Amino acid sequence: MVRLARIVGLAAMICSAAFAVFYVLWFFGLTPLDPQLAVKIPVLVIVLGLCFIAGWLGYVMASSPQRPSA
């Protein structure tokens, strides 16, 4: 039986290789994409990551049990 970690590792390896090929093609101008996306996409990922962290912290704070009062 194939373990989940092996499947995830294989998927990460394939995705990283595919992204590397795509990035090299984009770097040399062989794909017709807007160069401003090189700035917009990382900024979007950072903002979404911060929103996820804030939402996760809010969920943890809202769903944690109350401490017993002394």
Q: What is the pLDDT of residues 29-41, one digit of tens each?
A: 888 888 888 889 8
Distance CA 55, CA 4 (A): 27
Q: Residue 1: what pLDDT?
A: 61
Distance CA 24, CA 19 (A): 9
Distance CA 4, CA 20 (A): 24
Check: pTM over 0.85? Answer yes or no.
no
- Residue ranges of domains in the chain: 4-63
The alpha carbons of the chain give a radius of gyration, in whole angstroms, of 20
Long-range contacts, stretch 56-59, CB < 8 angstroms, 24+ apart: none
